[in-house]
Structure 1
Amino acid sequence: MVAYSMCYFGGGKDEEEELEMYRQIHFPALTELRKTTKLPSAAFLRSEGKCPLAPEEAVLMLAAIGFKHSTNVYIAGAEIYGGRHRMAAISRLYPALVSKETLLSSSELEPFRNFSSQQLAALDFIACAAADAFAMTDPGSQFSSLVQGYRMYYGGGDLPTIRPNKRRLASILLKNATMEWNEFETRARKLIQQTKQVHERPVARSIFRHPRCLDCMCRTEN
C-alpha cells in the first residue's frame, strides 16, 4: 500500500530507492506508466489526502479525539512499513497494541497461511467489524470500504467508523509542528465530528462503503 500510494514518508533517498525497487517487482505497470506519464508529486498527493497515515500521524489523531492510554488498539493488515521503529510512537502511547500475529499462536495462524492472503485478511475483518470503533488510516482500500459498509449496514449507528476528510487532516498535520496541542485537538475533533454521521449512499460512490440506499437496504412486504 505504501509503495503503490506513490507517497513519501520522510525516509530520504533510502526510502525512495527501496519503494521504487518494490514497485518494479510488484507493480510493473505503475513503473512503466511513470516513464510515459507525468504523475502527481508526493507532496501534491499528501496535500490532497491521498496518502496512508503513518503510525505517528494516526496516533496524533487518536489522541486528539480522546482515546485514552488504556485503549486496546488492534492493528489490521500486513507488516507495517518501517517496522518496530515506525511503530514506536503509537506503541508508547497505546501499549495495549495487538495484531492477529500477537493474539494467535503460530499453530492457530498456520491453517490460514496455506491459502491466499485473503484468508488472513478475513481475520482482520472479523476483528475490525466487531470493534467499538474502526479508524481508517488509508485513503480508502477495498478492505476498509468493506469494513465501513458492514458496520454501517449492521451497526444501526452504534458501530462508529472514524474516516476523516483526509485532505483537511493533511493540512492540519502539515502545520502540527507550529500548532499548540489544544488547537490541534480542537481542529481534529471538529474534523471527525463533521464526518461521523451515517448518510445514505452518495451518487456514484462505492456500494460496499455506503450500503445505505434504497436498492440495498432490506425491505419487507405484506
Structure 2
Amino acid sequence: MLRGMGFDNTTLVYVAAGKIYKEQKYMAPLKQMFPRLLTKYTLATPEELAQFKRHSSRLAALDYTICLHSEAFVTTQGGNFPHFLMGHRRYMYGGHAKTIKPEKRKLVVLFDNSNVRYGFDYLYWLVFIFEVVLL
C-alpha cells in the first residue's frame, strides 16, 4: 500500500507494536521494501528500554510519542490508540496532519490480485497504484 502511494525504499518507517510473532518471517517482506524500518526495540538500547520493560503502558507511550511527531501516520486497526492519536495530531497540527486510514475491505481486493503480488507486472502495478490513490 505504501509503495502504491509513492513511498520508496528511502522512506523511514516506524512500526508501533509490541513483540511481533515470528517477526523474522512476517516482517521480512516489509523490511525488504523499506530497509529503514524501525521499532522502539531498534531505536533504543536494551539499557534505555529496561525502565519500561515491566510497564506495557509506558512502552505504548513511547510508540504514541513517536507517532504523534511523525510526518505521516498510517493506522491499520481500530481501538483507542489510533483514535486518540489521530485526534491529538489533528489538534497539534491544526487539522493538517497527514493521516492515512485505509479502507481495508477495498484494499484486500487489490492485494488479492496475484499479478500485483507475484512478479510485479508493470501494467498491473500501474493499475494498483491508481486504485490505491482512488481509495
Which of 125, 129, 133 is matched with 2:68 structurally?
129
Count of aligned pairs: 128
Cα distance, 1:95–1:120 mapped onto 2, change above 3 Å = same
DSSP-derived class of the 1:101 partner? helix
Structure 2 unaligned segments of length 5 or more: list them. Answer: 117-123
What pairs up with 1:186-201 in 2 under 5 angstroms?
Answer: 186-191=130-135
Deviations 1:2-47 (A, max 9, x none): xxxxxxxxxxxxxxxxxxxxxxxxxxxxxxxxxxxxxxxxxxxxxx
Structure 1 unaligned segments of length 5 or more: list them. Answer: 1-60, 192-222
Query: Quick one: distance in 2 between partners of 1:105 and 1:127?
Result: 16
Q: Once the 2 structures are TM-superposed, how far is the Cα of residue 68 of structure 1 from its aligned partner?
A: 1.4
Q: Once the 2 structures are TM-superposed, how far is the Cα of residue 82 of structure 1 from its aligned partner?
A: 3.0
The structure with the largest alpha-carbon Rg is: 1
Q: Which has the higher contact order (CA 8 A, sep 6+)?
A: 2
Which of 103, 108, 112 is matched with 2:52 structurally?
112
Identify the residue that residue 181 of structure 1 maps to in structure 2. 125
TM-score, length-normalised on structure 2? 0.88
Q: Once the 2 structures are TM-superposed, how far is the Cα of residue 156 of structure 1 from its aligned partner?
A: 1.6
Equivalent AA in structure 2 for residue 78 of structure 1: G
TM-score, length-normalised on structure 1? 0.55
Query: Quick one: distance in 2 between partners of 1:168 and 1:119?
Result: 34
Equivalent AA in structure 2 for residue 147 of structure 1: L
Query: Quick one: distance in 1 between partners of 2:128 and 2:2?
Result: 12
The answer to whether the aligner puts 1:91 opposite 2:31 as a matched pair is: yes
Cα distance, 1:70–1:178 mapped onto 2, change above 3 Å = closer
Identify the residue that residue 84 of structure 2 maps to in structure 1. 146
Q: Which runs of 4+ in 1 moved over 4 A?
A: none
Deviations 1:107-138 (A, max 9, x none): 111111233x1110000000001000001122
Query: Quick one: distance in 2 between partners of 1:128 and 1:147?
Result: 8
Q: Once the 2 structures are TM-superposed, how far is the Cα of residue 148 of structure 1 from its aligned partner?
A: 1.1
Equivalent AA in structure 2 for residue 153 of structure 1: Y
Query: Quick one: distance in 2 between partners of 1:106 and 1:153?
Result: 33
The answer to whether the aligner puts 1:158 opposite 2:86 as a matched pair is: no
Q: Once the 2 structures are TM-superposed, how far is the Cα of residue 157 of structure 1 from its aligned partner?
A: 3.1
Equivalent AA in structure 2 for residue 182 of structure 1: L
